[in-house]
Amino acid sequence: MSRAARFGLSIMVLLFAVVTQASAGPVKVGYVNSVALMEQAPQADIAKQALEEEFAPREREIRDLQQAVQTLQNRLDKDGQSMSEAEHSQLRQQIDQKSLRIQQKQSDFQDDLNLKKNEALGKLQQTVLSAIKDVAKEHGYQMVLSDGVVYSAPTVDITKLVAERLKQMAKGKN
């Protein structure tokens, strides 16, 4: 959905809420910068660190294989002229096999990493949404807007309140 469409939809929802709530009193509307919350949330740092720890051994293994290929390639470059045809062919075959293994391991690594990143992002989004809902309920907001807002006055920006809630939630899990 384009930004203009999201903005239009946000305005329509806001106007509908204002009209339907007119008889019930003023509508308390808040705004959150969801991008900032996703970047600042302590849970994001925790997830990033967990991913780094989980994938570090595989990354080291790939680097070690690359170093082994480089060593073999250096040997081939240095001693290739003085090797027999069989030795040269065998060394070239080892290099090719290891290079192929590296490519496969890199591909598997990237696929697994992307999958885990997407899982972590989904969990983070759910945590941020939960914190937004908690803060909205606690402070009496009938509506909280996010993406597509062109302007929000500082008095309706509850991003800092939600960020603090995320910090509290992160401390509670540790």
Which CATH number covers residue 118? 3.30.910.20
Return d(Cα 10, Cα 4) in angstroms, integer: 10
CB 171 within 8 A of CB 48: no
* For range 145-169, the mean pLDDT: 85
Query: Is-above-0.75 flag for pTM?
Result: no
Whose structure tokens read 């946000």? 10
Q: What is the pLDDT of residues 46-71, one digit of tens each?
A: 999 999 999 999 999 999 999 999 99
Instruction: Write out the residue range of the structural domain in which residue 48 sits.
Output: 3-173
pLDDT, mean of residues 43-48:
94
Compute, in degrees rounded to 10, the torsion defined by CA atoms 122, 128, 134, 140: -120
Domain count, the chain: 1
**Whole-number Å distance between alpha carbons of 142 and 109:** 45
CA distance 128 to 125: 5
